Amino acid sequence: MRTLDKVERHPSPVEQSLERLHIPVLLREVLELLRPAPGGRFLDCTVGLGGHAEAILEAGGPETILCGIDRDAEALALAEERLDRYRGQAQLVHGDFRELWELAREHRWASFDSILFDLGVSSFQLGNPERGFSFFINGPLDMRMDRSGGSRTAAELLAVLSEKELAGILWEFGEERFSRRIARAIVRKREQDPITSTKQLKDLVERTVPRSAWPRKIHPATRTFQALRIAVNDELSGLSGTLEEASALLKPGGRLVVIAFHSLEDRIVKETFRRLAGQEPSAFRLLTKKPVVPSEEEREQNPRSRSAKLRALEKVAN
Ligand SMILES: C[S@@+](CC[C@H](N)C(=O)[O-])C[C@H]1O[C@@H](n2cnc3c(N)ncnc32)[C@H](O)[C@@H]1O
pLDDT at 149: 77
Are 13-120+236-315 and 134-233 in the same CATH fold? Answer: no
- What confidence score (pLDDT) does residue 94 get? 97
Q: Looking at ligand 1, which atom is closest to the CA of residue 27?
A: 8
**Which among 23, 70, 124 is the best mutation to test ligand 1's pocket, defined by most ligand atoms within 8 Å of the CB?**
70
DSSP string, 40-66: -EEEETT-TTSHHHHHHHHHH-TT-EE
CA–CA separation, 268 and 238 (whole Å): 10
Ligand 1 pocket: which of 31, 71, 82 to mutate (most atoms within 8 A of CB): 71
Compute the distance from residue 12 Cα to the ligand 1 centre, in Å: 23
How far does Cα 44 stand from its chain's mean position?
11
Best mutation site among 31, 46, 142 for ligand 1 pocket (most ligand atoms within 8 Å of CB): 46
CA of 48 to the centre of ligand 1 (A): 5
Domain ranges of the chain: 13-120+236-315, 134-233
In this predicted structure, what is the pLDDT of residue 66?
98
- Classify 134-233 by CATH class: mainly alpha
10 Å Cβ neighbour count for 10? 7
pLDDT along the chain (318 residues), means of 10: 38 62 93 96 97 97 96 96 94 97 95 96 93 95 92 97 98 97 98 97 97 92 97 96 97 97 96 94 94 97 95 91
**Ligand 1 atom index nearest CA of 50:** 9
Task: Using the mean position of ligand 1's atoms as its centre, give its distance from the Cα of residue 15 in Å.
Answer: 18
How far, in Å, CA of 25 to CA of 272, rounded?
22
d(CA 17, CA 277): 40
Q: What are the C-alpha distances in Å from 163 to residues 3, 172, 224?
A: 62, 14, 14
| The ligand 1 atom nearest the CA atom of 124 | 27
> Going by CA atoms, what residue is nearest to atom 3 of ligand 1?
48
Q: Whose Cα sits closest to atom 1 in ligand 1?
A: 122
Contacts of 133 (CB under 8 A, 6+ apart): 121, 125, 126, 142, 143, 225, 229
Strands (E) across the chain are located at 41-44, 65-70, 90-94, 112-118, 250-260, 284-286, 309-315
Q: How far is the CA of 145 from the centre of ligand 1 (A)?
A: 9
Q: Looking at 184-316, which runs of residues are DSSP E strands?
A: 250-260, 284-286, 309-315
Q: How far apart are CA 57 and CA 64, in angstroms?
A: 6
What are the distances in angstroms from CA 64 to CA 35, 67, 200? 11, 10, 48
| pLDDT of 15 | 63
In whole angstroms, give the CA distance from residue 142 to residue 139: 8
Who lines ligand 1 at CB under 6 A? Answer: 22, 24, 46, 48-52, 69-72, 75, 96-98, 118, 120-122, 145
Which pLDDT value is given to residue 55?
97
Beta bridge partners of 159: none
Closest ligand 1 atom, residue 23 Cα: 8
Task: Using the mean position of ligand 1's atoms as its centre, give its distance from the Cα of residue 69 in Å.
Answer: 8
| pTM (two decimals) | 0.93
**pLDDT value, residue 124:** 92
Distance CA 307, CA 305 (A): 6
Which ligand 1 atom is nearest residue 51's CA?
8
Give rounded-to-5 percent helix, strand, coil for the chain: 50, 15, 35
Nearest to residue 126, comparing CAs of 229, 263, 223, 265? 229
The pLDDT of residue 317 is 77
CATH 3.40.50.150 fits 13-120+236-315, yes or no: yes
pLDDT tens per residue across span 282-313: 899 999 999 999 999 999 999 999 999 999 99
Number of the ligand 1 atom closest to the C-alpha atom of 98: 19
